[in-house]
Amino acid sequence: MSGKTILVVDDTPDNIAVVVGILRGQYQTRVATGGIKALEFARAAEKPDLILLDINMPDLDGYEVCARLKDDPETAGIPVIFLTSMESPEDEAKGLGLGAVDYIHKPFSPTVVKARVHTHLLLHDTLAKLEERNTALDEKTKMLEALSTKLSKYLSPQVYQSIFIGTRDVKLATERKRLTVFFSDIRDFTSTTGDMQPEDLTAMLNHYFSEMSSIALSYGATIDKFIGDAMVMFFGDPETNGIEEDARACVRMAVAMQRHMLVLQQEWRGMGFEQPFDMRIGINTGYCNVGNFGSSDRMDYTIIGGEVNLAARLEAAADPGGILISYPTYALVRDIVHTEERGTIVVKGIRREVQVFAITGIFDGTT
Protein backbone atom coordinates (compact mmCIF):
# COMPACT_ATOMS: atom_id res chain seq x y z
CA MET A 1 0.00 0.00 0.00
CA SER A 2 3.04 2.31 -0.10
CA GLY A 3 2.52 5.47 -2.07
CA LYS A 4 -1.13 5.79 -1.11
CA THR A 5 -2.35 9.18 0.09
CA ILE A 6 -4.86 9.53 2.92
CA LEU A 7 -6.76 12.79 3.40
CA VAL A 8 -7.43 13.41 7.11
CA VAL A 9 -10.34 15.82 7.67
CA ASP A 10 -10.80 17.14 11.23
CA ASP A 11 -10.98 20.57 12.85
CA THR A 12 -9.24 19.45 16.07
CA PRO A 13 -5.41 19.63 15.98
CA ASP A 14 -4.97 16.91 18.61
CA ASN A 15 -7.14 14.47 16.67
CA ILE A 16 -5.24 15.27 13.48
CA ALA A 17 -1.91 14.65 15.18
CA VAL A 18 -3.04 11.27 16.50
CA VAL A 19 -4.40 10.07 13.13
CA VAL A 20 -1.37 11.29 11.17
CA GLY A 21 0.87 9.58 13.73
CA ILE A 22 -0.96 6.27 13.24
CA LEU A 23 -0.56 6.44 9.46
CA ARG A 24 3.00 7.79 9.40
CA GLY A 25 5.52 5.51 7.75
CA GLN A 26 2.89 3.54 5.87
CA TYR A 27 0.95 6.20 3.96
CA GLN A 28 1.33 9.75 2.80
CA THR A 29 -1.11 12.10 4.52
CA ARG A 30 -2.77 15.39 3.74
CA VAL A 31 -4.79 17.41 6.23
CA ALA A 32 -7.94 19.49 5.82
CA THR A 33 -9.25 21.35 8.88
CA GLY A 34 -12.71 21.90 7.43
CA GLY A 35 -15.26 20.51 5.02
CA ILE A 36 -14.77 23.10 2.28
CA LYS A 37 -11.02 22.54 2.23
CA ALA A 38 -11.61 18.78 2.15
CA LEU A 39 -13.68 19.13 -1.03
CA GLU A 40 -10.94 21.24 -2.64
CA PHE A 41 -8.29 18.61 -1.86
CA ALA A 42 -10.57 15.81 -3.07
CA ARG A 43 -11.11 17.55 -6.42
CA ALA A 44 -7.44 18.41 -6.96
CA ALA A 45 -5.42 16.85 -9.75
CA GLU A 46 -3.71 14.48 -7.33
CA LYS A 47 -6.69 13.04 -5.55
CA PRO A 48 -6.42 11.17 -2.24
CA ASP A 49 -6.81 7.40 -2.28
CA LEU A 50 -8.99 7.42 0.84
CA ILE A 51 -10.57 10.02 3.13
CA LEU A 52 -10.85 9.82 6.94
CA LEU A 53 -13.68 12.22 7.71
CA ASP A 54 -14.91 13.79 10.95
CA ILE A 55 -18.56 14.82 11.22
CA ASN A 56 -18.69 17.87 13.52
CA MET A 57 -16.91 20.73 11.75
CA PRO A 58 -17.76 24.45 11.81
CA ASP A 59 -18.00 25.25 8.09
CA LEU A 60 -19.46 22.10 6.53
CA ASP A 61 -20.27 18.96 8.48
CA GLY A 62 -18.97 15.55 7.44
CA TYR A 63 -22.34 14.32 6.28
CA GLU A 64 -22.61 17.16 3.77
CA VAL A 65 -19.02 16.65 2.65
CA CYS A 66 -19.66 12.97 2.05
CA ALA A 67 -22.87 13.67 0.16
CA ARG A 68 -21.13 16.18 -2.12
CA LEU A 69 -18.22 13.81 -2.73
CA LYS A 70 -20.56 11.01 -3.81
CA ASP A 71 -22.63 13.30 -6.02
CA ASP A 72 -19.54 14.45 -7.94
CA PRO A 73 -18.37 11.96 -10.64
CA GLU A 74 -14.78 13.15 -10.10
CA THR A 75 -14.75 12.17 -6.42
CA ALA A 76 -17.49 9.55 -6.14
CA GLY A 77 -14.99 6.69 -6.32
CA ILE A 78 -12.84 7.81 -3.35
CA PRO A 79 -13.53 5.61 -0.29
CA VAL A 80 -14.73 7.61 2.75
CA ILE A 81 -14.40 6.36 6.34
CA PHE A 82 -16.11 8.38 9.03
CA LEU A 83 -13.86 8.86 12.07
CA THR A 84 -16.07 10.53 14.68
CA SER A 85 -17.22 10.69 18.28
CA MET A 86 -20.85 10.35 17.15
CA GLU A 87 -21.56 6.71 17.92
CA SER A 88 -25.34 6.21 17.88
CA PRO A 89 -26.70 3.60 15.45
CA GLU A 90 -28.70 6.33 13.74
CA ASP A 91 -25.56 8.40 13.11
CA GLU A 92 -23.71 5.39 11.74
CA ALA A 93 -26.63 4.41 9.51
CA LYS A 94 -26.82 7.94 8.13
CA GLY A 95 -23.12 8.00 7.31
CA LEU A 96 -23.17 4.63 5.57
CA GLY A 97 -26.35 5.62 3.77
CA LEU A 98 -24.54 8.61 2.27
CA GLY A 99 -21.99 6.29 0.69
CA ALA A 100 -19.23 5.92 3.28
CA VAL A 101 -17.51 2.54 3.28
CA ASP A 102 -16.95 2.40 7.05
CA TYR A 103 -17.69 4.16 10.33
CA ILE A 104 -15.18 4.23 13.25
CA HIS A 105 -16.03 5.64 16.66
CA LYS A 106 -13.74 7.80 18.80
CA PRO A 107 -11.79 7.01 20.86
CA PHE A 108 -10.38 4.60 18.33
CA SER A 109 -7.73 1.93 18.38
CA PRO A 110 -4.70 2.56 16.14
CA THR A 111 -4.82 -1.10 15.15
CA VAL A 112 -8.44 -0.78 14.07
CA VAL A 113 -7.74 2.37 12.04
CA LYS A 114 -4.79 0.77 10.27
CA ALA A 115 -6.72 -2.43 9.58
CA ARG A 116 -9.80 -0.62 8.23
CA VAL A 117 -7.73 1.71 6.05
CA HIS A 118 -5.71 -1.20 4.67
CA THR A 119 -8.82 -3.28 4.00
CA HIS A 120 -10.70 -0.55 2.16
CA LEU A 121 -7.70 0.50 0.08
CA LEU A 122 -7.17 -3.13 -0.91
CA LEU A 123 -10.86 -3.55 -1.70
CA HIS A 124 -10.92 -0.35 -3.71
CA ASP A 125 -7.87 -1.42 -5.74
CA THR A 126 -9.35 -4.87 -6.32
CA LEU A 127 -12.66 -3.42 -7.52
CA ALA A 128 -10.81 -0.99 -9.79
CA LYS A 129 -8.84 -3.84 -11.36
CA LEU A 130 -12.02 -5.86 -11.82
CA GLU A 131 -13.67 -2.88 -13.48
CA GLU A 132 -10.70 -2.48 -15.81
CA ARG A 133 -10.85 -6.16 -16.69
CA ASN A 134 -14.59 -6.00 -17.24
CA THR A 135 -14.16 -2.96 -19.45
CA ALA A 136 -11.47 -4.74 -21.44
CA LEU A 137 -13.68 -7.83 -21.60
CA ASP A 138 -16.61 -5.74 -22.82
CA GLU A 139 -14.44 -4.25 -25.53
CA LYS A 140 -13.22 -7.69 -26.57
CA THR A 141 -16.79 -8.97 -26.53
CA LYS A 142 -17.89 -6.12 -28.78
CA MET A 143 -14.98 -6.84 -31.11
CA LEU A 144 -15.90 -10.53 -31.22
CA GLU A 145 -19.55 -9.70 -31.84
CA ALA A 146 -18.57 -7.40 -34.69
CA LEU A 147 -16.22 -10.03 -36.08
CA SER A 148 -18.82 -12.79 -35.79
CA THR A 149 -21.34 -10.57 -37.60
CA LYS A 150 -18.87 -10.10 -40.42
CA LEU A 151 -18.03 -13.80 -40.54
CA SER A 152 -21.73 -14.68 -40.66
CA LYS A 153 -21.88 -13.07 -44.11
CA TYR A 154 -19.60 -15.82 -45.40
CA LEU A 155 -21.65 -18.71 -44.00
CA SER A 156 -25.21 -19.92 -44.33
CA PRO A 157 -27.13 -18.76 -41.22
CA GLN A 158 -27.89 -22.37 -40.23
CA VAL A 159 -24.22 -23.35 -40.43
CA TYR A 160 -23.09 -20.18 -38.66
CA GLN A 161 -25.56 -20.73 -35.82
CA SER A 162 -24.69 -24.41 -35.41
CA ILE A 163 -21.00 -23.53 -35.09
CA PHE A 164 -21.48 -20.69 -32.60
CA ILE A 165 -23.88 -22.57 -30.34
CA GLY A 166 -21.57 -25.57 -30.37
CA THR A 167 -23.73 -28.18 -32.10
CA ARG A 168 -21.29 -28.51 -35.00
CA ASP A 169 -17.53 -29.01 -34.77
CA VAL A 170 -15.25 -27.17 -37.17
CA LYS A 171 -13.48 -30.25 -38.46
CA LEU A 172 -13.21 -32.24 -41.66
CA ALA A 173 -16.26 -34.50 -41.47
CA THR A 174 -19.12 -35.39 -43.81
CA GLU A 175 -22.39 -37.31 -43.70
CA ARG A 176 -24.46 -39.04 -46.31
CA LYS A 177 -27.97 -37.59 -46.34
CA ARG A 178 -30.94 -37.39 -48.63
CA LEU A 179 -31.18 -33.74 -49.61
CA THR A 180 -33.12 -31.62 -52.05
CA VAL A 181 -30.62 -29.66 -54.13
CA PHE A 182 -31.34 -26.38 -55.93
CA PHE A 183 -29.29 -24.93 -58.79
CA SER A 184 -30.02 -21.72 -60.69
CA ASP A 185 -28.26 -19.54 -63.21
CA ILE A 186 -28.93 -16.67 -65.61
CA ARG A 187 -29.72 -17.64 -69.20
CA ASP A 188 -27.07 -16.44 -71.67
CA PHE A 189 -25.39 -14.44 -68.92
CA THR A 190 -22.24 -13.61 -70.88
CA SER A 191 -24.05 -12.37 -73.99
CA THR A 192 -26.71 -10.56 -71.93
CA THR A 193 -24.15 -8.63 -69.91
CA GLY A 194 -21.42 -8.23 -72.53
CA ASP A 195 -22.22 -4.56 -73.21
CA MET A 196 -22.82 -3.57 -69.58
CA GLN A 197 -20.41 -1.46 -67.59
CA PRO A 198 -18.75 -3.39 -64.73
CA GLU A 199 -20.29 -1.10 -62.11
CA ASP A 200 -23.81 -1.61 -63.51
CA LEU A 201 -23.29 -5.35 -63.78
CA THR A 202 -22.01 -5.59 -60.21
CA ALA A 203 -24.92 -3.58 -58.82
CA MET A 204 -27.46 -5.55 -60.82
CA LEU A 205 -26.01 -8.94 -59.91
CA ASN A 206 -25.66 -8.10 -56.20
CA HIS A 207 -29.24 -6.84 -56.11
CA TYR A 208 -30.40 -10.06 -57.77
CA PHE A 209 -28.47 -12.23 -55.30
CA SER A 210 -29.73 -10.20 -52.34
CA GLU A 211 -33.37 -10.54 -53.38
CA MET A 212 -33.07 -14.26 -54.08
CA SER A 213 -31.16 -14.91 -50.85
CA SER A 214 -33.85 -13.17 -48.84
CA ILE A 215 -36.46 -15.47 -50.36
CA ALA A 216 -34.24 -18.52 -49.83
CA LEU A 217 -33.72 -17.79 -46.14
CA SER A 218 -37.43 -17.24 -45.61
CA TYR A 219 -38.03 -20.81 -46.81
CA GLY A 220 -35.18 -22.26 -44.74
CA ALA A 221 -32.71 -23.00 -47.52
CA THR A 222 -29.06 -23.58 -46.75
CA ILE A 223 -27.23 -21.29 -49.16
CA ASP A 224 -24.16 -23.18 -50.32
CA LYS A 225 -22.42 -20.77 -52.66
CA PHE A 226 -22.60 -18.27 -55.51
CA ILE A 227 -20.62 -19.27 -58.59
CA GLY A 228 -20.52 -16.44 -61.10
CA ASP A 229 -24.20 -15.94 -61.90
CA ALA A 230 -25.23 -19.31 -60.40
CA MET A 231 -26.68 -20.11 -56.96
CA VAL A 232 -26.39 -23.44 -55.17
CA MET A 233 -28.68 -24.21 -52.23
CA PHE A 234 -30.06 -27.26 -50.50
CA PHE A 235 -32.62 -28.44 -47.97
CA GLY A 236 -32.14 -31.17 -45.37
CA ASP A 237 -28.97 -30.13 -43.53
CA PRO A 238 -27.98 -28.87 -41.01
CA GLU A 239 -31.71 -28.58 -40.28
CA THR A 240 -34.52 -30.69 -41.73
CA ASN A 241 -38.29 -30.90 -41.55
CA GLY A 242 -38.29 -34.33 -43.15
CA ILE A 243 -37.51 -35.33 -46.72
CA GLU A 244 -40.98 -34.54 -48.07
CA GLU A 245 -41.30 -31.14 -46.40
CA ASP A 246 -37.75 -30.21 -47.42
CA ALA A 247 -38.62 -30.92 -51.07
CA ARG A 248 -41.88 -28.98 -50.85
CA ALA A 249 -40.12 -25.99 -49.27
CA CYS A 250 -37.53 -26.02 -52.06
CA VAL A 251 -40.17 -26.09 -54.80
CA ARG A 252 -42.22 -23.35 -53.14
CA MET A 253 -39.06 -21.28 -52.84
CA ALA A 254 -38.25 -21.78 -56.54
CA VAL A 255 -41.76 -20.68 -57.57
CA ALA A 256 -41.51 -17.62 -55.31
CA MET A 257 -38.14 -16.73 -56.87
CA GLN A 258 -39.44 -16.97 -60.43
CA ARG A 259 -42.46 -14.83 -59.55
CA HIS A 260 -40.21 -12.25 -57.94
CA MET A 261 -38.03 -12.25 -61.05
CA LEU A 262 -40.96 -10.75 -62.93
CA VAL A 263 -40.91 -7.81 -60.52
CA LEU A 264 -37.13 -7.42 -60.85
CA GLN A 265 -37.33 -7.56 -64.65
CA GLN A 266 -39.76 -4.64 -64.63
CA GLU A 267 -37.40 -2.70 -62.37
CA TRP A 268 -34.42 -3.42 -64.63
CA ARG A 269 -36.32 -2.42 -67.77
CA GLY A 270 -37.27 0.82 -66.02
CA MET A 271 -33.57 1.40 -65.36
CA GLY A 272 -32.79 1.08 -69.07
CA PHE A 273 -31.68 -2.55 -69.34
CA GLU A 274 -33.12 -3.97 -72.57
CA GLN A 275 -32.34 -7.59 -71.69
CA PRO A 276 -32.97 -8.15 -67.98
CA PHE A 277 -31.93 -11.43 -66.43
CA ASP A 278 -33.90 -14.65 -67.03
CA MET A 279 -33.35 -17.33 -64.37
CA ARG A 280 -33.37 -21.09 -64.88
CA ILE A 281 -33.80 -23.49 -61.97
CA GLY A 282 -33.08 -27.19 -61.52
CA ILE A 283 -34.12 -29.24 -58.46
CA ASN A 284 -33.25 -32.80 -57.54
CA THR A 285 -33.71 -34.97 -54.44
CA GLY A 286 -31.20 -37.69 -53.65
CA TYR A 287 -28.37 -38.87 -51.43
CA CYS A 288 -25.38 -36.51 -51.18
CA ASN A 289 -22.30 -36.18 -49.05
CA VAL A 290 -22.63 -33.03 -46.95
CA GLY A 291 -20.22 -31.47 -44.48
CA ASN A 292 -16.82 -29.85 -44.28
CA PHE A 293 -14.48 -30.50 -47.20
CA GLY A 294 -10.98 -29.13 -47.67
CA SER A 295 -7.96 -29.01 -45.39
CA SER A 296 -7.41 -28.52 -41.67
CA ASP A 297 -6.48 -24.88 -42.43
CA ARG A 298 -9.21 -24.04 -44.95
CA MET A 299 -12.49 -25.88 -45.26
CA ASP A 300 -15.80 -25.36 -47.00
CA TYR A 301 -19.21 -26.57 -45.87
CA THR A 302 -20.78 -27.92 -49.05
CA ILE A 303 -22.33 -30.92 -50.85
CA ILE A 304 -20.93 -33.32 -53.44
CA GLY A 305 -22.14 -36.35 -55.36
CA GLY A 306 -23.90 -37.43 -58.51
CA GLU A 307 -27.25 -36.12 -57.30
CA VAL A 308 -25.73 -32.66 -57.02
CA ASN A 309 -24.50 -32.91 -60.61
CA LEU A 310 -27.98 -33.96 -61.68
CA ALA A 311 -29.50 -30.79 -60.19
CA ALA A 312 -26.96 -28.74 -62.16
CA ARG A 313 -27.88 -30.60 -65.39
CA LEU A 314 -31.57 -29.98 -64.76
CA GLU A 315 -30.90 -26.27 -64.37
CA ALA A 316 -29.00 -26.19 -67.67
CA ALA A 317 -31.91 -27.94 -69.41
CA ALA A 318 -34.64 -25.73 -67.91
CA ASP A 319 -36.53 -23.12 -69.90
CA PRO A 320 -35.76 -19.43 -69.26
CA GLY A 321 -37.96 -18.50 -66.32
CA GLY A 322 -38.66 -22.18 -65.75
CA ILE A 323 -38.17 -24.83 -63.07
CA LEU A 324 -37.15 -28.37 -63.99
CA ILE A 325 -37.36 -31.13 -61.36
CA SER A 326 -36.33 -34.77 -61.27
CA TYR A 327 -38.75 -37.63 -60.68
CA PRO A 328 -37.60 -38.19 -57.05
CA THR A 329 -38.52 -34.58 -56.31
CA TYR A 330 -41.73 -34.80 -58.34
CA ALA A 331 -42.82 -37.85 -56.31
CA LEU A 332 -42.56 -35.78 -53.11
CA VAL A 333 -44.35 -32.64 -54.39
CA ARG A 334 -46.77 -33.91 -57.03
CA ASP A 335 -49.82 -32.97 -54.95
CA ILE A 336 -48.87 -29.28 -54.79
CA VAL A 337 -47.67 -28.54 -58.35
CA HIS A 338 -48.84 -28.58 -61.94
CA THR A 339 -46.18 -30.16 -64.13
CA GLU A 340 -45.38 -31.04 -67.69
CA GLU A 341 -43.38 -34.19 -68.36
CA ARG A 342 -40.17 -33.51 -70.31
CA GLY A 343 -38.83 -37.02 -70.97
CA THR A 344 -35.60 -38.42 -69.55
CA ILE A 345 -31.98 -37.32 -69.28
CA VAL A 346 -28.76 -39.20 -68.57
CA VAL A 347 -26.12 -37.76 -66.27
CA LYS A 348 -22.54 -38.99 -65.91
CA GLY A 349 -22.12 -40.73 -62.55
CA ILE A 350 -25.79 -41.78 -62.34
CA ARG A 351 -26.62 -45.12 -63.95
CA ARG A 352 -30.35 -44.63 -64.24
CA GLU A 353 -32.17 -42.50 -66.74
CA VAL A 354 -33.88 -39.63 -64.94
CA GLN A 355 -37.41 -38.63 -65.81
CA VAL A 356 -37.85 -34.87 -65.56
CA PHE A 357 -40.79 -32.51 -65.16
CA ALA A 358 -41.26 -28.79 -65.73
CA ILE A 359 -43.30 -27.00 -63.10
CA THR A 360 -46.11 -24.97 -64.68
CA GLY A 361 -47.90 -23.91 -61.50
CA ILE A 362 -48.44 -24.46 -57.82
CA PHE A 363 -51.90 -24.87 -56.36
CA ASP A 364 -51.68 -25.34 -52.61
CA GLY A 365 -52.05 -21.60 -51.99
CA THR A 366 -48.46 -21.27 -50.79
CA THR A 367 -45.59 -19.58 -52.62
The 10 Å CB-count burial string (b at 16+, else e) for 23-35 is beeebebbbbbbb
- Domains plus CATH for the chain? 5-132 (3.40.50.2300), 174-362 (3.30.70.1230)
pLDDT recorded at residue 144: 75
Q: Residue 167 in contact with residue 174, Cβ under 8 Å? A: no
Q: Residue 313 in contact with residue 345, Cβ under 8 Å? A: yes
pLDDT recorded at residue 128: 87
pLDDT recorded at residue 166: 58
Each residue's pLDDT tens digit, 314-351: 999 999 999 999 999 999 999 999 999 999 988 777 77
pLDDT recorded at residue 367: 46
Each residue's pLDDT tens digit, 179-231: 999 999 988 776 666 667 778 778 888 889 999 999 999 999 999 888 888 99
Sites in the chain below the pLDDT cut of 50: 1, 366-367
pLDDT recorded at residue 34: 93
